[in-house]
Structure formats: C-alpha cells, structure tokens
Structure 1
Amino acid sequence: MRVLVVHNRYRSAQPSGEDRVVDQELALLREAGHDAGLFERRSDDIASMSLSRKVAVPLRVPRNTAARDDLAARLAAQRPDVVHVHNTFPLLSPAVLDACTAAGVPVVATLHNYTQICPTGTLFRDGAECRSCVGGLPVAAVRHGCYRGSRLASVPIAVNLAVNRRRWSDSVARFFCISAAQREILVASGMDADQLVVKHNFVPEPGVHRDGRSEHVLFLGRLTEEKGVRLLMTAWDRLAADGGLGLPLVLAGTGPLQDEVARWARDRDDVRYHGLADPAACRDLLARSAAAVVPSTWLETFGLVVVEAMAAGVPAVVAGHGSLAELVDDGVTGLTHRPGDAASLAESLRRIVADPEHNRALGKAARADYEQRFGPRAGLANLVAGYRAAIADTGRRTTAAVTNRR
C-alpha cells in the first residue's frame, strides 16, 4: 500500500505525543513493507523566517494555498493509495485537503484532540471543562483569549474552525478517534458517527521493562494546569504532611508551569524535577517507577504515557474520566482517582505504593493488556484496516456519483 502521511510538527522545545505517534506509525508501516512517505512542515522553522513571513503565518492558518500546491505536486509524483492527515496547524492548514480531493485520493485523519469542535482542542478553560464553542461560532475563544491568553492570537484558530468545518467533513473518508471516550464526545457534538472510528494509538516495544525496582513515582508530560500538575503538587504535599510514601516524586517535562514546579521541588528530598528528558531517558524513568501518575483535569483523548507505562510493566494512577478510565481497569491494571480531587489522588498514590505485591500484580496485568490492545501487531492491523475501509468507501462514493450523473 502507498501511504502519504501529512503532518505539521510541533516545536521541539515543547515535545508532543502527536509527533511521536506519527514517527512510530511511519516506522511500523515501513517495517511491514508498505511504501509510507511523509509530507511535513515544522513549527521550529518559524523562528528562522523573515519578519514578513512570520507576520503571514497567522493569516495562513485557515488557508495556506502554497502548502496546498506543494502537496498537489507531491501527490502527482507519488500517487498514493491513501493520505493520512495528522496536524495541519499552523503551517499547512486544511487547504491540503483540497489537493487530495482534486487528486481523487482518499483521506483519513487522526483526531489527536478536539480541534474539530474547540479552537484550542482541549475543551478546557480557566481550570474547568468548557464547551462554549461547540456547535456554534467560536466567538468565546476570542473573547476569552483561549490561545496563549491572547484575543488577537486566538482569532486565526477561531476563524480556522469556523470556515473549515465543512471542508473536513466533506474531504475526509474516515476520522480516527484515539479512544471511544473521544468519539462519544465528538458524536454528541454533532459530527457524523459514520465517519468516526476508534483506532487506539499503539506503542512500540520499549526494550526496557521493570525488573522489580521501584525507585520513584513518575509524572511524565507537559507541565500545564490541564495535565493536573497543580493537583498533583497539592496531593503530594498532603502525603508529605502525613510522613510521605518512602519514594520520591519525579516530574519530567517542560511547559508553562516549569518554573513553578522547579521552585516547589527545590530543597526537597521527596521531589525531583528532572526537566525535559529524551526518549531513552523517559523509557528508563518509566521502567524504574512504582507507578506513573496521570492526574489530568481535562478530558484526555488518549493518554500515551499510560500505555508506555503498561508496555514497561508499570501500573498507572489516573483521573477516572474520559479516555484514562478507558485505558486503566481500576484495581486490575492500575488505579483511578476522582478527577480534580487532591485527597482522592493522594489516597490512590498511597495505595499503589503501600502493597508491593499488589503493585507487581497490577504491573503484570497492565503489560498483558498492552500486548493485547496496544502493541505493534494490533497497531498495524488497525491502521491498515482503517486505510482499506477509507479506500473502499471513497470508491463506492465515486461510483455512486458517476451513476447519479448518468
């Protein structure tokens, strides 16, 4: 199968799970013998642009005709069987879909977040769930400055959502939702249920597994409010006041709250701020963990860190909502806590560390669940099945259109 993947990479200073998924799926397809190419733009390139080009970037977020034309040329040269779109913000734009339509190439799109119904893709604002823009014009996103706290910066993403909804629905044969919880929300928002299929992200074999050592509890991810960082800090302070867990908390990542986290961790024996870690270091940190903690206050669409922990034979403590509750079987492969509740999070952390034998059993069950649902074999089968369904559906629609014209 000839596949062309279309993706706008995030800034390397803020590593994204989406970039990781794209690279892993490309490698998976190529290892299986498929002809998988990549058409990409990199947000890192914005820094080296001339002033005039930088000024033009926001203006082209809703429609970048240069990117469309470049993709059209690539399609003509490669003639793929299917195009797989991931992220188009900010240097590609949904205009790339027009090139696919003109070339008659079926399109699938992975929905890594909620950008089809929310300009920022999080359904989260001011520390709480927000659906103000769902189903209507995204005026609230501009009024509240949802993107980077700026009303002006929020305009392009609001316009992008408003003018391109129909383009996405008309151009994409299949949307890959990365969890059933995400699909349920998108269907409830009015998206066509027939276009939305669940295809979980897969995680490659990590090459390193927990060998009995449990040196710390690990938070691995973006240091943002919606990821539950402040909630975790509050819960950990509660535990510390009661004598602690006997293991330190390690936080690895960067983000808007990194200075706050660094100050909080400074001069403490029970907390270590690791900062940004490369992939090999992340795998090592996971393999030495008693548990990975994912206390997100927003409705995560997947939870890649949870599955990476499962692959290493490590259980997770997660917020019991959205996709996280879908990934973790409470009391079997990990523990859940009441979302947004620091006391509940503290108690779950205490429980998962207190009984080493039960902890090992949770990790073993987590590893078995990974092998069945999230390993490379399942990942490849789901990916190729989705492509074939999109190709077949596009063929049926084309045949029906020709018949109707007759």
Structure 2
Amino acid sequence: MLQRIVLINDKYGGFGGTEEYINSLARLLDPLGYETSIIYGKKYPKNFSNPLIREFRLPFLKERYAKAKPYELAKLCGYINKIRPDIVYIHNIFDYRIITAIRKAHLGKIIWYCHDHFFYCLTELKVFNDQQYELPLGKHCITNIQAGRCIERYPLRDLNLNEIFLERKKLLESSFLFDEIVVISKYMESNLIKNEVPKEKINLVPRQVYIPEKIERREEGKNILYVGRVVKEKGVDHLIKALEFIYCNVKLTIVGSGDAGYIEKCRFLAKDLKGKKKGLEIIFTGQKSHREVFEFYKKASVVAIPSLWPEPFGVVAAESLAQEVPVVAYNVGGIDTIIKDGKTGLLAEPRNIKELGEKIGYLCSNKEESRKMGKNGRKFVKLKFDPQKHVDAILRLFS
C-alpha cells in the first residue's frame, strides 16, 4: 500500500547537510513504497530537481525571524490537505505558529528531526566566551549577546532580543506537539533534555552516511582537506594557523564558500604563512557539489575539522572515514560520536591550535598509523551508520 510522507524544511536542493539528507531519504524510501513530497521556502540551485520528490514552494518558510501570517498558514494547511500525507516529517522550521498550524491540519503522526541548536540557542551556535556553552535557553542569553560574549551566526544585537527570546521559548514549547523527535547524537539529546523537551519523545537514530562499495584512494603527497562553510564558527583560521606547527611540506585544500569578509581574512593568513614556510601550499576551491567533494576525499591524507561551535554530529567526519580518510578535529559537541580518539582519528583540545597542528602533522608523517585509523574508521561507519540502519529506525517511528 502506498504511503505518503511530506517533508517540511526552509530550503530544498543542494544547499547543505539537511537538504542532502532529504534527497537521500527519498531515494531510500522509494523502493519501499513511499511517495515523498516537500514543502519548502527556497530552492538552491534554482534548477534543482529530484524526480522522486513532489515540490510545493512557500517562500515564508525560509524566514528565520518573521511571524507567519494567517493567509500563509492557510496555504501551508492547503498543501497538506492536498498531499494527504500519512507522515509529516519536519526539519528546519523557525516559527511555532507553523508547527501549531500543522498539528491542527494533520491528525496523523508528526516527526521532528532536530538538526541544530536553533530551538534552544538565540545565536544558534552555543559558543560563549569562545567556549562550548552548556546552559539551557534563558534570559542570561540576552545579556550575553548584548555584551558580545557569543559568536553570532546572524547579527542579532540590533534586533529586539527580548522579542526573539519569547518567540524562541514558544518554539521550544511547541515541541510538545510532535509525536516523535529525531536526534543523531547523544550530545543533541542532552541539549533537548536540558531544555525540558519531553524525554520520552526523543529518539537517538543513527545518521545515514554514503558508504562507497569500493575505495578509490589516490593520495597525493601530504594532503590536508577541509570541507564545509568558510565562516568563523567553523574555525578555518585556526586550521591555517595550525599549519605553523606542522614540520613537513603539506598542501591544504579548503573546499566551501561562506562569509566574504571571513574568507578574505583566511586568504590573508594563508598568504602570510606561505611567505614564512617554504613548500606550503594552500588552495581555496570555493563551493563544490557533493559529488565533486568525494573526489577531494580520494586524494586526502587527513581531513581536518577545526570547528569552534559544538557540531551536532559531524557528517564530514563520517563521510571521510567511509573513504578510509582519518580525521583530526577539535573535541566539541557530537563530534566524538564519529571520532574515537586514537582509533578512527585524533581529537584535540578545543581552540588549542598547536595541538591541532601537531596531530595533523603526526598523521601526515606516519602513513602506517594514518592508514590503520582510516581502515578502522570505515569499519566503524559501516557498522554504525549504514543507510539501512537509519531507514529501519525511521520506519519504526513512522509506524
């Protein structure tokens, strides 16, 4: 019997991790008799299409701080009534009014996948005084932002923080309307529990990871790879500075786009360091497709993840290990879900640039140890994050 699922997200296409997940899920569910639709706010690139997904666009879904108007909510409910889904699967939604409207329009199961920290952190990054922040959402968050103690993903200090706080509290409270909640790391589970989300609704589900059947390693020299957004919270400047503590000739490839001002800062750091270290090569490739990124993995000796913000999981780490490429990362957030220190990679103390550089250098110089960690990593990812394990867990929630 045909089952209908509708996914609701701010974006659709090839934008980032959530969008990649949505397309992957549709491919996995199609052979099982599921018809997948998506209601989204913005598509990137504009000509993107997936023959397995029916598209419905509502531009207001992409807004982070707008309040959905009654006529917009009526359109959303109209689409849900048209699709007649068995399951509504919510992803990145920023307004409690939307969740309330969906609950009224749909009597069946509603599942929420908590991808990041938006529901319980005003800045979305959980970084306070350059440290991972552990407290739940509260009025202290307003004071900290006003004092400039938090890294902000988007400029907030010129906005009405009291109003944003109240909106976010209502969004958090709307989690009671979900039948099931999906998280992919114990770190994310602990954050929801701290913020009084019903524990009995939270399900720790293994995130599916693309695992190629065959490994095509074409390692060239001592190649360090970074994949991700080039923004402050990702710590790319830390990675460039860490090269000073690597005492062999290496090449760093930075794959991704981001904040223009921050990229310029990183380019300046790279140029300055190349002037001091002979034989050092640093390349900025800009944005690449998911398929192109896998070509970079094949040539890498080690993947570096210097994130300052607490990563909910670390998809790049899992993808790297699936290709037998070991990872060196700052030990933040849910990254230890993937990186088992000394077994599948190496963890450095957060913001310890010297330690980060030394551990990257160690794997670049010790090929035998590097290969061993890569092989361990692939075995670990196949055991824990095979796509079928994710589908089985999701289907249990659907039923």
Q: Which bracket does the TM-score occupy, shorter chain normalised? A: 0.7 to 0.9
Work out the CA distance in 1 between the residues paired with 2:203 and 2:160.
Answer: 30
Work out the CA distance in 2 between the residues paired with 1:31 and 1:297.
Answer: 40
Partner of 1:188: 194
Mark the runs of 5 or more structure 1 residues left unpaired by the alignment: 46-53, 389-406
Closer, same or farther: CA 253–125 of 1 in aligned 2, 3 Å: farther
Deviation at 1:72, TM superposition (A): 1.3
SS of aligned partner of 1:219: strand
Note if 1:116 corresponds to 2:90: no
Deviation at 1:179, TM superposition (A): 0.7
Note if 1:303 corresponds to 2:314: yes
Give 1:8's aligned amino acid: D
Partner of 1:237: 244
Partner of 1:329: 340
Closer, same or farther: CA 71–250 of 1 in aligned 2, 3 Å: same
SS of aligned partner of 1:272: strand
Work out the CA distance in 2 between the residues paired with 1:77 and 1:276.
Answer: 36
Closer, same or farther: CA 123–202 of 1 in aligned 2, 3 Å: same
Partner of 1:404: none
Work out the CA distance in 2 between the residues paired with 1:195 and 1:120.
Answer: 25
Give runs of aligned pairs for residues 209-288 of structure 1, distance below 5 A.
209-211=215-217, 213-215=219-221, 216-239=223-246, 243-244=247-248, 246-256=249-259, 257-266=262-271, 268=274, 269-288=280-299
TM-score, normalization: structure 2? 0.83
Deviation at 1:285, TM superposition (A): 0.5
Note if 1:151 corresponds to 2:157: yes
Deviation at 1:299, TM superposition (A): 1.2
Mark the runs of 5 or more structure 2 residues left unpaired by the alignment: 46-58, 275-279
Give 2:74's aligned amino acid: D
Identity, in percent, stands at: 19
Note if 1:318 corresponds to 2:329: yes
Work out the CA distance in 2 between the residues paired with 1:262 and 1:152.
Answer: 29
Deviation at 1:191, TM superposition (A): 2.2
Deviation at 1:212, TM superposition (A): 5.2
Give runs of aligned pairs for residues 7-406 of structure 1, distance below 5 A.
7-9=9-11, 15-42=15-42, 61-89=66-94, 93-102=95-104, 103-125=106-128, 127-130=130-133, 134-136=137-139, 139-140=142-143, 143=146, 146=152, 148-153=154-159, 155=161, 157-169=164-176, 171-206=177-212, 209-211=215-217, 213-215=219-221, 216-239=223-246, 243-244=247-248, 246-256=249-259, 257-266=262-271, 268=274, 269-388=280-399
Q: Contact (CA 8 Å) 2:328, 2:346: kept in 1 or not?
A: yes
User: Which of 70-79 and 156-165 deviates more?
Assistant: 156-165
Partner of 1:2: 4
SS of aligned partner of 1:98: helix
Deviation at 1:41, TM superposition (A): 1.2
Closer, same or farther: CA 141–56 of 1 in aligned 2, 3 Å: farther
Closer, same or farther: CA 59–111 of 1 in aligned 2, 3 Å: closer
Work out the CA distance in 2 between the residues paired with 1:348 and 1:56.
Answer: 42
User: Which of 150-159 and 284-293 deviates more?
Assistant: 150-159
User: How many equivalent residue pairs?
Assistant: 372
